[in-house]
């Protein structure tokens, strides 16, 4: 049984001593009814886990929601073509592929709301626990955990929206909030993590599963430093600091690469020795992981024993699929070719009668023809779960050890140490190819190039919400790609606009350049 934070809202209300009826995502204010904290609460590990649960609950919207699609589609590793009338949705999905979105798109406001919902819940919980007369003996640890979690949400806000409101007090009047610069938010995230690192748990066990630990904080700092040249401008790179943070995780001995890549994403992946921070999901208690529904074809339920027909949406183009050679075990994340039912029978598209054959070639962004319903490689990286129709139980990964090796390799390359970079990349590639050190697919020093490092990151971290920032950092985000996208005319697409509803709610906010 997975150790998950999965108390119901009713149970939390009874235990917490407060009933939270509404969290406002758009104005950073939270309506709270009957805020009567129990003086005897927050005293046991179980009570503390229940107390911080609302802040963690906000994570559930991220790895399979707006953040996921906006990261992967805008970077070009995922596409949602319009198949007849399916998945048009006012042009939302194609605007991400083509870089034609604007501040009025619903997913823009959706991501803003997802992020600031987490910030609001973190601020609220901090205000509750610190207002207690009878504070728990480990108040420093509780504060550190919530502040580190809030730092992650602010990291996402800065990464995606650039200059954002910086609110750390739950009682702040939302109408008084203005934009803080990206540099200010960067410094805030860095300080919060460094100041609270010593109070975060260093143990890795059931009690810390799915929660912010010291090692998750090191990973977040590594991400911050890896992208410092983007966030703060050229000349402000922090490659050595990124290496140091990755070293802290790798040398801790707390994690190891899973022998099987797909164990990290399995239906029950709680035993992964590689995953550092995950968002728990469960088919009964914690819904929201709809990976199988978003990418698989309507008739794929016959293959995987699903209780509903999937939605025939997200896929990858031939350019992405062909980045994986046939010896790469990670290529098994993609479905191409004839699809079969659980009984071994060859499946057909029931609407068109065509054989259910997935082809990775996506020749256009929109086509009403019957054959176009089958284009694109489909992903089973998070393996479908029989007996579900969405809300599958695979816990979704935020940080894992392979990323630490690849981040360190990139920073080593940037600092002129290609041999060290190759050694780190080879640890990941040897797992991918099932080879011992020195195998045929190990990199040599000459293989350590910017293009190869990005391609390896794409293969290893495919559809894990890092593709957008990787493409920006490597300078490929604005490139032309097939089908249908020309090169960006300028770089303003590298951050999303502040959504119109936020600008309407608070006239003190300033829109990002180019929108």
- Per-residue pLDDT of 242-265, as tens digits, reads 999 999 999 999 999 999 999 999
Closest Cα partner for 461 from 155, 78, 62? Answer: 78
Confidence band of 39 (pLDDT split at 50, 70, 90): low
Residue 297 lies in a domain: yes
Structural domain count of the chain: 1
Q: How far apart are the first and last CA of the chain?
A: 48
Whole-model pTM above 0.75?
Answer: yes
The answer, yes or no, to whether residue 61 has pLDDT greater than 90, is yes
Residue 211 lies in a domain: no
Confidence band of 234 (pLDDT split at 50, 70, 90): very high
Cis peptide upstream of residue 483 (ω within 30 degrees of 0):
yes
pLDDT, average across residues 370-396? 98
- Which residue range forms the structural domain that includes residue 356? 290-392
Residue 183 lies in a domain: no
> What angle, rounded to 10 degrees, do the helices at 418-433 and 450-461 form?
30
How high is the pLDDT of residue 38?
Answer: 59
Helix boundaries (H) for 277-417: 291-295, 301-304, 318-321, 401-414
- The DSSP secondary structure of 197-246, one letter per residue, reads GGGS----SGGGTTS--HHHHHHHHHHHHHTHHHHS-TT---HHHHHHHH
Whether 164 contacts 171, CB under 8 Å: no
Residue 327 lies in a domain: yes
- Per-residue pLDDT of 426-472, as tens digits, reads 999 999 999 999 999 999 999 999 999 999 999 999 999 999 999 99
pLDDT, average across residues 310-338? 98
Residue 381 lies in a domain: yes
- Using DSSP's 3-state secondary structure scheme, residue 83 falls into strand
Residue 366 lies in a domain: yes
Q: How many CA atoms lie within 13 A of 251 on its CB side?
A: 8
How high is the pLDDT of residue 288?
Answer: 97
What angle (nearest 5°) sits at the alpha carbon of residue 422, between those of residues 444 and 72?
115
pLDDT, average across residues 375-387? 98
Confidence band of 115 (pLDDT split at 50, 70, 90): very high
The answer, yes or no, to whether residue 13 has pLDDT greater than 50, is no
- Per-residue pLDDT of 388-413, as tens digits, reads 999 999 999 999 999 999 999 999 99
How high is the pLDDT of residue 35?
Answer: 42
pLDDT, average across residues 113-127? 97
Q: Looking at per-residue confidence, does 326 or 176 come out higher?
A: 326
What angle (nearest 5°) sits at the alpha carbon of residue 24, between those of residues 22 and 25?
135
Residue 310 lies in a domain: yes
Residue 307 lies in a domain: yes
The structure tokens listed for 114 are 């997802």
pLDDT, average across residues 482-510? 97
**Residue that is written with structure tokens 């980045």 in the block:** 323
- Using DSSP's 3-state secondary structure scheme, residue 36 falls into coil
Long-range contacts of 265-269, Cβ-Cβ distance < 8 Å, separation of 24 or more: 265/381, 265/382, 265/383, 265/394, 265/397, 266/383, 266/394, 267/383, 267/385, 267/392, 267/393, 267/394, 268/2, 268/393, 268/394, 269/394, 269/395, 269/397
């Amino acid at each position: 049984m997975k150790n998950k934070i999965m108390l119901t809202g009713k149970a939390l209300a009874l235990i917490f001593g407060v009933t939270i009826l509404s969290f406002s995502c758009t104005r950073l204010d939270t309506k709270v009814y009957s805020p009567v904290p129990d003086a005897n609460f927050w005293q046991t590990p179980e009570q503390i886990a229940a107390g911080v649960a609302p802040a963690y609950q906000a994570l559930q919207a991220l790895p399979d929601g707006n953040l996921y699609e906006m990261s992967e589609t805008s970077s070009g590793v995922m596409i949602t073509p319009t198949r007849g009338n399916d998945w048009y949705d006012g042009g939302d999905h194609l605007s991400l592929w083509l870089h034609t979105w604007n501040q009025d798109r619903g997913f823009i406001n959706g991501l803003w709301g997802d992020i600031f919902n987490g910030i609001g819940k973190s601020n609220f919980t901090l205000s509750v626990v610190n207002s207690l007369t009878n504070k728990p003996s480990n108040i420093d640890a509780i504060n550190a955990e919530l502040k580190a979690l809030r730092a992650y949400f602010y990291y996402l806000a800065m990464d995606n929206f650039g200059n954002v409101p910086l609110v750390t007090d739950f009682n702040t009047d939302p109408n008084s909030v203005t934009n803080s610069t990206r540099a200010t938010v960067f410094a805030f995230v860095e300080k919060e993590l460094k100041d609270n690192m010593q109070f975060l748990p260093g143990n890795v066990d059931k009690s810390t599963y799915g929660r912010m630990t010291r090692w998750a904080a090191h990973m977040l700092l590594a991400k911050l430093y890896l992208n410092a040249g983007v966030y703060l401008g050229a000349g402000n790179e922090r490659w050595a600091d990124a290496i140091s943070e990755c070293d802290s995780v790798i040398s801790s001995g707390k994690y190891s690469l899973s022998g099987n890549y797909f164990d990290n994403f399995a239906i029950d992946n709680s035993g992964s020795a590689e995953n550092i921070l995950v968002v728990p999901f469960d088919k009964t208690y914690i819904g929201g992981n709809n990976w199988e529904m978003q990418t698989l074809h309507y008739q794929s339920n016959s293959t995987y024993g699903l209780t509903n027909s999937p939605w025939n949406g997200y896929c990858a183009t031939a350019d992405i699929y062909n980045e994986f050679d046939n010896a790469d075990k990670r290529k098994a994340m993609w479905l191409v070719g004839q699809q079969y039912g659980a009984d071994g029978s060859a499946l057909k598209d029931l609407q068109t009668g065509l054989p259910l054959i997935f082809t990775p070639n996506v020749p256009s962004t929109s086509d009403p023809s019957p054959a176009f319903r089958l284009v694109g490689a489909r992903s089973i990286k998070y393996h479908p779960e029989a007996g579900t129709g969405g809300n599958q139980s695979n816990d979704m990964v935020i940080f894992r050890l392979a990323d630490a090796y690849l981040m360190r390799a990139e920073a080593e390359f940037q600092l002129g140490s290609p041999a060290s970079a190759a050694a780190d990349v080879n640890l990941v590639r040897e797992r991918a190819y099932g080879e011992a050190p020195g195998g045929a697919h190990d990199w040599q020093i000459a293989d350590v190039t910017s293009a190869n490092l990005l391609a390896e990151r794409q293969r290893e971290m495919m559809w894990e919400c890092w593709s957008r920032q990787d493409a920006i950092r490597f300078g490929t985000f604005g490139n032309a790609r097939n089908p249908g996208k020309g090169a960006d005319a300028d770089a303003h697409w590298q951050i999303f606009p502040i959504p119109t509803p936020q600008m309407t709610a608070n006239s003190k906010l300033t829109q990002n350049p180019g929108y």
